[in-house]
Amino acid sequence: MLTDITLGQYYPGDSFLHKLDPRTKIVATLIFICSIFLASTYVAYGVLFLSVLLAVGLSRLPAKLVARSVKPLWVIVVLTFVIHAFSTPGAALFEWKFISITDAGVQQGVLMSLRLVFLIVVSSLLTYTTSPIVLTDGIESLLNPLRRFGVPAHELAMMMTIALRFIPTLLEETDRIMKAQVARGADFSSGHLLKRAKNLLPLLVPLFISAFRRADELAVAMEARCYRGGENRTRLHQLAYAPRDGVALGGVLALTLALAWMRWSGL
Amino acid sequence: MSIKLEAVSYTYMPGTPYEKRAISDISLEIEKGEFVAIIGHTGSGKSTLVQHLNGLLHPTSGRVLVDDIDLAAKTPEAKKIARSVGMVFQYPEHQLFAETIYEDVAFGPRNLKLDEAEVRQRVELAMEFVGLDYGKFAHRSPFHLSGGQMRRVAIAGVIAMQPDYLVLDEPSAGLDPAARNAIFAEIVQLYRTRGITVILVTHNMEEAARLADRMLVMAKGEVRMDGKPKEVFRADRELLHAAGVDVPRMVELVDALRLKGIDIPEDTVSVDSLVREILARQRRENAC
Amino acid sequence: MDDIIIQTKDLCHLYPNGDGELIRALDKVSVTIRRGEFVAIIGTNGSGKSTLAKHFNALLLPSAGQCLVDGLPVSDTGDMWAIRQKVGMVFQNPDNQIVAAVVEEDVAFGPENLGVPPLEIRRRVDDALAAVDMTDYRLHAPHLLSGGQKQRIAIAGVLAIRPDCLVLDEPTAMLDPLGREEVLSTVSRLNKEQGMTVVYITHFMEEAVFADRVLVMDKGRIIREGTPKEIFSCVEEIAALGLEAPLAAEVAWHLRNRGLDLPADIITDEELALALCQSN
């Protein structure tokens, strides 16, 4: 049942993207996502498309895998297209009662859905090429300078680490409790909404109790291993920038500048 | 009246890279009134197997018939007959959820759509069976009990369904010897007085040998041995070892004694009979 | 004094239960654990053995009396971190003490907390994983390991702190026979080969047989103390506590009761076999 879900979509490898420092990848991804919104002309979209292709190539991931990342979100992509196609004023291509599709609408719809696809592909490249633990390290390190403004960088990272560790355990537990209650005749799938919510209690109550018990025991175990927050902590794996990180960041910045220039010059 | 498995195989996550065959081609029949122990180490497929017995899992291939009804059939009869197989999971106290012990034990009977008088009667009976005084405990919270007591409440919740077949997955895990013995005494009592069919999944060979009249040894998703405890433990030790099964302490002791030339029957399984045998032998020798 | 690692003097621990009554979990417990010893603490659930163990690394503080670790009182909060470095703890549920989603990251957790430099952490992690024979699994995800393997990872996580003493609180209660065997042999190897002091809490009597010394607890008190032979030959007393003596001891006891002349200290199969041969 629930354990069939495969979590964490990290795809091991040693491509250029895999070897990049997680901080570089996070920052580059953010910049790339912003630059997607700079594109407004066909030429700009062409450049963007080529850059995404280049990035996919550098990741050496199977094309099928990358395509699959769009699959869970295809409804949103289609919806984006439909909304734009119907709501943008312009010359009508098709009219029926109060519904009309315009040429500008179709054009706008295609471009908007393309943006979305780019966005999904680029961010999934990040998670495909970076293991969750390393990603967490990267986020902690990037947030660290914000600590003086009260951002609990270490605590956030520790929470993510523990969540990653316990999600499979809790899914297994959910599966087990669910089966136990089904064996006692519980029904989790029929009835109207309110009834269904009430029916979930025999699953949710034990699950919460178990999660709290685990949290409690984990806290004691962490304390026993001398955990006392982020102060003076060292790390087994230290993050280090390499020349390729400069190349990657430089590339993404160049792309952004090019797109910005195209936007202002109207190319 | 029986549970019958016909060439049952089960594969987790078929068609993915995580595909794993948990049990393969298992055929067996458990007759009503038997006390069967299923032993095997973790990952031998015994948990997957027992989840087929009440339709929590349906075979990838093969059939499971309870009282001649196929559990995979999507009929009301199939659903109903699946309810006649009660299932006590490992650490069943983790499934408690209600505010009072009464409410928790009543959960199953209520799902059977029984009227409240009948529910109440079943709760009383089930609590009595696991040795929890109804007057004293019924309206207490299950979460303030000791671990052993919580487990009894959970077992009562399954017994209250009044199943014809009762599957217990490691019911003594994590308990100390006193609590363990108490739980087993209750299961045996249930077996004797109610004529319920018991299927006990366990690592504990002593218990399996002492309680069950039939034993299935599982390894790598297959049933490797099937027979009376005495036969199984006296069978090929190599086979038992390959299955990752420990022979009971009693068998080890008898072996150690026989190795030193103390002539006692190989199939002695209880302390009482061993003591009797040794004394009888001692007397014989002294008489010479 | 130097060879004593843990010592309690009239240690009491009281806590309020759900109904507001005070429960006396420990009642004037005095124990001494020497360096290099393997001490087993046995008792039924609720006998106070876990409560006692939690005092050994300052997870609980005494209500009255004293608990000293390497001469430092646990009640002095200033010494808490020094104490937790000297006494490492392994708990019952292997799932609930592993922090990270990769084995070696988890083992590194302790030294990271202590601010050990990265290269030294690497060395400690490698040593600890080798000591529990889990080097091959260093990049695995813990949730996919067996119970026995998870518990060995937990032991490695404690070893990486480089403690003087290892306290294990029912480490095998949730494991299958293979897992129990793995954990017990790992612990006894650490004791024999590296001279690690071990305090091993269990209700499996067969495991206590491996100890140098056994403490029996009941209702918050230490009621008996001795070698495994001394403890387990009192079959009746052990049974009265709701525990089980090893099988050979039990059979020998029955035979003695029926008039057979056997030594009182039989606890293993071989000893029983030998004694029976000689009694002829």
CA distance B151 to C265: 37
Question: Do B165 and B143 form a contact (C-beta atoms < 8 A)?
Answer: no
C88 CB near a chain A CB, below 8 Å?
A: yes
Distance of alpha carbon B71 from alpha carbon A1, whole angstroms:
18
**Which residues of C fall within a CB distance of 8 Å from A165?**
98-101, 142-143
Residue C268 lies inside a defined structural domain of this protein: no
Domain ranges within chain A, ordered by starting residue: 2-265
Chain A residue with Cα closest to B160: A184
Measured between beta carbons, the chain A residues lying within 8 angstroms of C102 are 131, 133
| Cβ–Cβ below 8 Å for C251 and B275 | yes
Tell me what the mean pLDDT of segment C209-227 comes to.
Answer: 92
In a domain? residue C177? yes
What residues in B contact C246, CB-CB < 8 Å?
A: 249
End-to-end CA distance of chain B: 55
Do C118 and A237 make contact, defined as CB atoms within 8 angstroms? yes
Q: Residue C171 sits in a domain of what CATH number?
A: 3.40.50.300
The answer to whether position C28 is within a domain reads: no
Report d(CA A126, CA C99) in Å as an integer.
24
Interface test with A, best of B87, B95, B104 (most A CBs within 10 A): B95
Rounded Cα distance, C141 and A14, in Å: 20
Q: What is the pLDDT of residue B280?
A: 87
Summarised one tens digit per residue, pLDDT across range C168-188 is 999 998 888 888 889 999 999
- Sort out which chain B residues have CB atoms less than 8 A from C176's CB and list them: 41-42, 203
* Residues 6 or more apart whose Cβ sits within 8 Å of residue C257: none
Within a domain: residue C127? yes
Chain C residues with a Cβ under 8 Å from any Cβ in chain B: 18, 44-46, 92, 146-147, 173-174, 176-179, 203, 206, 242-244, 246-248, 250-251, 254-255, 258, 260, 269-270, 272-274, 276-277, 279-280
CB atoms within 10 A of CB A144: 14
Neighbours of C15 (CB within 10 A): 13
Mutate to test the interface with C, among A171, A175, A220, A226 (most CBs of C within 10 A): A226
Q: What whole-number distance in Å separates Cα of residue C124 and Cα of residue C108?
A: 8
Per-residue model confidence as pLDDT tens digits over B148-160 = 899 999 999 999 9
Q: How far apart are CA B63 and CA B116, in angstroms?
A: 36
pLDDT tens for chain A, 267 residues: list them: 344 333 347 787 889 999 999 999 999 999 999 999 888 888 889 999 999 999 999 999 888 888 887 877 888 888 888 888 877 777 777 777 777 778 888 888 888 899 999 998 998 899 888 888 888 889 989 998 888 888 888 899 899 889 888 988 999 899 999 999 999 988 887 777 787 888 889 999 999 999 999 999 999 999 999 998 888 888 888 888 999 999 999 999 999 999 999 888 876
Q: Which residue of B has its CA nearest to C46?
A: B146
Quick one: DSSP state of residue B57? Answer: S
Q: Which chain C residue has the Cα nearest residue B248?
A: C247
Alpha-helical regions (H) of C60-198: 80-86, 103-113, 118-131, 147-159, 177-194
Domain that holds residue C98: 35-60+79-228
pLDDT at A4: 36
Is there a domain that residue C185 lies in? yes
A88: Cβ contacts below 8 Å, ≥ 6 apart? A102, A104, A105, A108, A109
Joined together, the tokens standing for residue B2 give: 């029986």
Please give the model's pTM, rounded to 2 decimal places.
0.86
Q: Are A35 and A153 in contact (CB under 8 A)?
A: no
Nearest Cα neighbor of C158 from C195, C190, C119, C203 is C190
Domain count, chain C: 1
DSSP string for residues in A252-266 = HHHHHHHHHHHHHHT
Does residue C135 fall inside a structural domain?
Answer: yes
Within 8 A of B13 by CB-CB distance, chain A residues are 4
Q: Looking at beta carbons, which residues of chain C come within 8 Å of A227?
A: 109, 113
Question: What average pLDDT does chain B have?
Answer: 88
Position C19 in a domain: no
Helix (H) or strand (E) holding C73: strand C72-73
Give phi and psi for B227, each to the nearest 5: 175, -170
C174 with B173: Cβ contact below 8 A = yes
